[in-house]
Chain A
């Protein structure tokens, strides 16, 4: 058990890499989610359909397969090369993006139609309404969901170890192969737990703050 102590620093570094990759993917997922989410709530049927297909695809294929596709498949198609870090970030961003689309869509739809009509009566255009009226209220619904997505990305980043990306889980496995006890995996589990549980508490606190007696 004590054999893991000299490796604790490595494990913490691995946890930081996990956080970094997940945060980067979350930001990209946010961008994707906002863009596709706005498209999905637009009036164009084709756009709605395309958004729906994207979400269905990502939710019907295992993350590992999406990751393999990003690391092995896309380079052959576009003749570019991805490092494991880039492929992991891309796959996680697309994965989180699909869930973000749902979160953004429900956020936008949580703003009642009467607000849209009132804005139109006041002569405020679509984009201004979106930016100054809808977005601040949509964040109330979207932000707690984003915390949940961040947790999924943190857990999902462990899958990137399979394409050779060295993050927390891979670090723990490497240490385990050297010292042959379960303790590195235990420590890694605790680190994951601290990161994710902390985030879920933060998410529920945000959600409580934003909830004040129902939608407007």
Chain B
């Protein structure tokens, strides 16, 4: 037996207005609502509210909306040669750059060694006069000169053995491989750029 003066929670009345199964099966609740003016009025108002909510109109957007994402750009037609050239471009450029840089460094180092050696004699001779005039101890140094004489830093030269001088001479006479490598690298870079140019899509 339910107490007509004891009202159910309003959320249960909302559930009843919403047709929730769990409260539709609650017989005491439904009996109470049927007999209670206050609760039946709440349920009626909530039903009217739900009806009004379900009829709320659509609203036109205040500005035109883009209905579709932008169409993808049509891919330009590429020739078979173009595809082949495009695949080769990056490797050719990479190899070309490696060869060019390697060849460039190699050439520079190769040509730089004789310059360093010839400068070595002068570099030793100059401190001799400066340091001795200041009374300081000259730094021991030994560097071979072009004529095979090794200086000990005190102006005393020692003749290099003829066999070592011969080895050094034959090494400088050998043709350096760096220049062809540098050339090959530059040629590959140029070839890669030509391939890139050949990969340009056809008009239309």
Are A and B bound to each other? no
Instruction: Give me the interface of B with A, judged by CB distance under 8 Å.
Output: none
